[in-house]
Chain A
Amino acid sequence: MLRLKTEQTNHVQVDKPSARLSLAFIIVAFASLSVGALAGMLQGMVRGGVIHLPSWINYYQILTAHGVLLGLVFTTYFIVGFLFSGMARTNGGSLTKTALRFGWTGFYTMLIGTLMAAFEIIRNNASVLYTFYAPLKAEPAFYIGSALLVVGSWLAGYGMIANYVAWKKNHKGQRSPLFAYMAIATVALWQVATTPLAIEVLFQLIPWSMGWVPTVNVILSRTLFWFFGHPLVYFWLMPAYIGWYVCVPRIIGGKIFSDALSRVAFVLLLLFSIPVGFHHQLMEPGISPAWKMIHVALTLIVVLPSLMTAFSMFATFETTGRAKGGRGLYGWFKHLPWTDVRFFAPFIGMLFFIPAGTGGIINASNQLNAVVHNTIWVTGHFHITVGAAVALTFYGIAYWLVPHLTGRTLTKKANRVAMVQIVFWSVGMFIMSTAMHYLGLQGVPRRTDYTDYMNNAEALSWIPWQRVMGFGGGLLFVSAVLLIGVLIYLGKFAPKGNEEYPIGETDGEQYTPAILERWPVWLSVLAVLIILAYAMPIMEQIQHAPPGSPPLRTW
């Protein structure tokens, strides 16, 4: 009976209106990835001293394009598209009309914002990097475009909330599907985390870039940015975790290890990924050491849900492998589906997350941060976190999601090419990030154009490693080309069919405490944590503001 139920529930097809909405987001995501990947490869080549850019384009321009297109645009569009598809999949295959309306309004708002920001980057009027740190100043259209990107994502989030509320109304007293629960936790995190960013952009950066006010409070703007910047990492990670917790168990023919543990992990991520921003500002003046220490302590708490995730994944793999006949300490390992890209890609992503998470703990520890702060170590850390753990998981998802949404199938041949793509990406990222970590420990700065520091001997010794970085970047670009090729094939040319949308189930009924779904409780706790962590220091930064800075344009 249980098996029958599983078979039935796993053949739900996302209906056409919902699929169109998800696909729209996913197409923009991968279009921006293709341009962003090209920018990334060029950067690597420049930094390695292999090529020189033509005079009409500068290093910081492509650095900004790379960061914005991959860190903000690719991730946000893919996440919204993926979450909408999963909300539909766990709601009988369809989104409510309200959800679709909010979804499309959000999509067009985001698109207009993205095009405005991209236009200013192309015109070389916004080479302020993806963190748009003041006092570097971009043209107003860049900030307005970024604000629209955020507002659009809010609207899309309201659509998901509307869908969730409708599901709850129709299923009174029932626990929501795990996917929907996790999607709502991600949306909640995004709504809270982007609010200070919107405040920074609307009340500080736009008036300042318009020339309405002569100066900007730099420390306040950075504090507001990192209020957003750290949970941004979790906004990337949580949908990847959804893939790991909900989709991967089904793909490998196993069960979700624990429904309650999965939900607790997401509640902890929601609570503790926000009031921690000062660990990005440990070397900055204007914030007292006590507040920095409080944020560091809270940061170390957010390690817990990631470790819970690691345990849960190992346990799912082990129970599944043992059920298939695996014996001994690690005999279960070889019973996992190693030739299935839907599993292989996220699994490699999980492996990358081990050094990525470790690097995160190092970055967040005060003295260790002094060793690596603003070095290219941080760039390496960033790349194995979002560029490997998250990106590989998203690729693995896209390989079944795109054919599911277009009514096609992931063929064996496409699976083989996709496996090659994942290997290229993994090897390229391993080579590039290892070189970045190694150079960073020697103090090599990040965000720097090619330079030999006037033939300084030590700086010259870095160049070979920078070439290694460029080589890794080249492999990543080849991989990106393969990825786009396979996705176009899956979306347009693959045989028609019903590709499964994998949604895992728990092994029998499991008890999950109802309080985990009482959002007002968790949002109240979150509000208290944010007030405790940020109210006093932000008040100090306003009351004892440093002299404001006029805008700078360094390019």
Chain B
Amino acid sequence: MRPDPTPSKKNQEKQVNTDTEPLKGTFTSVLLLGAFIVVCWVAVFALFLNRA
């Protein structure tokens, strides 16, 4: 049995509204974060290759 009560119609509407709010900034931020990780990883790997 699911512990939550079934969401009311009003809350379901609210949920839909929340989901459709734009999260463009979030999407861009996580892409930049991913790019930062990749760039740093590649830079240290390049250092490894140079020293090897």
Contacts and interface: CB of A to CB of B under 8 A. Distances in A.
Nearest to A323: B21
Interface residues of B, number: 30
Given A175-B3, A508-B14, A314 B25 contact: yes
B41 A322 contact: no
Contacts of A514: 1-3
Most buried by A among B14, B25, B30, B51: B25
A304 interface: no
Given A311-B26, A329-B25, A329-B28, A367 B48 contact: yes
A512 interface: yes
A411 interface: no
Contact of A315 (B2, B5, B8, B26): B26
Contact of B37 (A314, A315, A329, A358): A358
Contacts of A333: 25
Given A358-B37, A507-B18, A512-B4, A314 B45 contact: no
Contact of B41 (A307, A319, A354, A368): A368
Given A307-B30, A311-B30, A319 B47 contact: no
A510 interface: yes
Contacts of A307: 30, 33
| Range class of the A interface residue count | 35 or more
Contact of B40 (A173, A319, A358, A509): A358
Tell me whether chain A's interface is mostly helix, strand or loop, or mixed. helix
A174 interface: yes
Given A311-B26, A319-B18, A174 B41 contact: no
B44 A314 contact: no
B35 to A, nearest CB: 11
Given A314-B30, A329-B24, A332-B25, A362 B3 contact: no
Contacts of A359: 40
A371 interface: yes
Contact of A310 (B14, B23, B33): B33
B46 to A, nearest CB: 10
Contacts of B7: 508-511
Contacts, number: 91
A111 B47 CA distance: 46
A365 interface: yes
A361 B33 CA distance: 13
A314 B26 contact: yes
Contact of B47 (A175, A314, A441): A441
Given A318-B25, A319-B23, A507 B44 contact: no
B2 to A, nearest CB: 6
B4 A365 contact: no
Nearest to B51: A371
Contacts of A319: 18, 21, 23
B19 to A, nearest CB: 10
15 contacts: A307-B30, A314-B25, A319-B18, A319-B21, A319-B23, A332-B25, A361-B37, A362-B44, A371-B44, A372-B44, A441-B47, A509-B8, A511-B7, A514-B2, A517-B3
Q: Which 10 A-B pairs have the closest CB atoms?
A: A508-B11, A314-B26, A509-B7, A508-B14, A175-B3, A314-B29, A318-B25, A315-B26, A368-B44, A358-B40
Given A314-B26, A511-B4, A512-B4, 6 more contacts: A175-B4, A307-B30, A310-B30, A322-B22, A358-B40, A510-B15
